Chain A
Amino acid sequence: AQSVTQLDSQVPVFEEAPVELRCNYSSSVSVYLFWYVQYPNQGLQLLLKYLSGSTLVKGINGFEAEFNKSQTSFHLRKPSVHISDTAEYFCAVSDRLTGGGNKLTFGTGTQLKVEL
């Protein structure tokens, strides 16, 4: 079984400032890692994913995340945020053994609020 912890429920940040959204996971098996964004009353959109290879993953909208196996973390970063980045962000894992495209376990989400 896996679990995902997003310690920050809300992160306020000024426009053009950098941001980091934290994600830690727990799993007894190797995992795939994902970050999704959800705008109000909408479904989820994939920002980026880590499957294998380079631990630094670049995604859409200027976001990137780094997989740290020793710290079991997959923090999301953006060097300069925009008002339009205001949304809910979810970290998720799925286990490699079942092919990864199966059961996703989500964190509780982090509300990113970008202010002028």
Chain B
Amino acid sequence: GAVVSQHPSRVICKSGTSVKIECRSLDFQATTMFWYRQFPKKSLMLMATSNEGSKATYEQGVEKDKFLINHASLTLSTLTVTSAHPEDSSFYICSARSTDRLPNEQYFGPGTRLTVT
């Protein structure tokens, strides 16, 4: 149980285009979802926290107009990288938290590798 999926697993896009990444909780309702970014050989950096039905809370230094987060339902959150540039290339990982499950645990998705050419 507590499975989180991400789609796509890999995406290559051209500079200037937008790309959407989906994060789904498959067998539980995710009241809160988190989006992380991981650079090669580096730790995970929290980008934003989203609660279902409300606006995401972005971490300092993360451009909210560039990284659009939507958490429209209890099982789906999306991250849209707008006007992507090569420096946006990274591994993006989402996680989900639920009050039905252990509230002090986050369940992680498998990640999405974004390459901007």
Range of interface residues on B (Cβ < 8 Å): 20 to 34
Residue pair A100, B104 in contact (C-beta under 8 Å): yes
- Taking a contact as CB atoms under 8 Å apart, the answer to whether A43 and B109 are in contact is yes
Given known contacts A42-B110, A43-B108, A43-B110, is B44 in contact with A106 (CB within 8 Å)? yes
- A100→B102 CA distance, assembly (Å): 10
Residues on B lying within 8 angstroms of A by beta carbon are: 4, 6, 32, 34, 41-44, 46, 49, 91, 93, 95, 97, 102-106, 108-111, 113
Q: Given B43, B49, B102, B113, which contacts A102 in the complex, CB threshold below 8 Å?
A: B49
User: Do B93 and A108 have beta carbons less than 8 Å apart?
Assistant: no
* Residue of chain B at shortest CB distance from A109: B43
Q: Which residues of A contact B (CB under 8 A)?
A: 32, 36, 41-46, 49, 51, 90, 94, 99-109
Q: List residues of chain B with CB within 8 A of the CB of A100.
A: 103-104
Question: Chain B binding site: helix, strand, loop or mixed by DSSP?
Answer: strand
CA distance A42 to B109 in the complex (A): 8
C-alpha spacing A32/B41, complex, angstroms: 25
Whether B111 contacts A104 by the Cβ 8 Å rule is no
